[in-house]
Structure 1
Amino acid sequence: MHRVRALTNRFDVSAEDIAQMYRYRWKVELFFKFMKQQLRLKKLYSTKEQAVWNQIYLNLIAYLLVELWRQGHAPTMDRGEFITLLRAYLRKPMEALLAVLHRPKERTSRGRRKKGRTAADSPQALEAAAHPVQVSELQLNEA
């Protein structure tokens, strides 16, 4: 537990409630930091109240999409690639973005191989074949 002292003029609120308010405030601060750094929200594009709310809502949607990606609900790509993709498809139909996200990989990497050599011909495979292992000697650790 981390102890913190806070000064307040709210005598009607308990210390636990004040601590909870600061936790919520910190989450809001982290959200705006994320918007500025990751979503490149450097300035508000309008001073009209509705435009400011629209910009915050759009950034909130982008933030939630990135968080869904981080939790494993989107294809594997790094955060920067995902945000770039979101920017590119911002004014396109959602179906177009989903099609890009769920398309199969164009190629799969099998690593670098020497010409004329298969995986079974590799030095590691040949060495392993020279030292056969009996099944009774294997120990499997199940996690």
Structure 2
Amino acid sequence: LPQRMARSRRNPFADPVREITVRIATGKLIRLLTNDLDAPAEEIADLYKERWQIELFFKWIKQNLKIRHFLGASENAVRIQVFVALIAYLLLRAAQATQKTVRQPLAFARLVRLNIMHRRSIDALKNSPPQPKQDDRQMSLSLYPV
């Protein structure tokens, strides 16, 4: 701990640790601290690399699937929620690929969300919905004076 914190706190991890330096593909050096004193450095570096891929996957899930919080705490509940969000994402991307008017995925998702209960073709989402025809035999109610 830094000196300013060391005086007022006790060290929560008093066991010995080992530092491993890894050079990644970009040439940057990363320092890893581990309490595994027996495993080879290559094995620890490989474990970190796999863990980093998992972190990148969860970052992608947060950015693209819009899962704010998990509804259940069990592993099965989390899996189901991730799979449902992934299926919805893939269906949305497939629907976007069928049209050419809206290029941005976020804008297309907003249009679909706004028109989800309307029976309209995907190409017609950007246009305003047609006004229903008025029947002359029906009375109309106007809330604003004409």
Which is greater in Rg?
2
Structure with the higher strand share, 1 or 2: 2
* Structure ranking higher on relative contact order (CA contacts 8 Å, 6+ apart): 1
Normalised-by-shorter TM-score class: 0.3 to 0.5
Q: TM-score, normalised by structure 1?
A: 0.43
Q: TM-score, normalised by structure 2?
A: 0.42
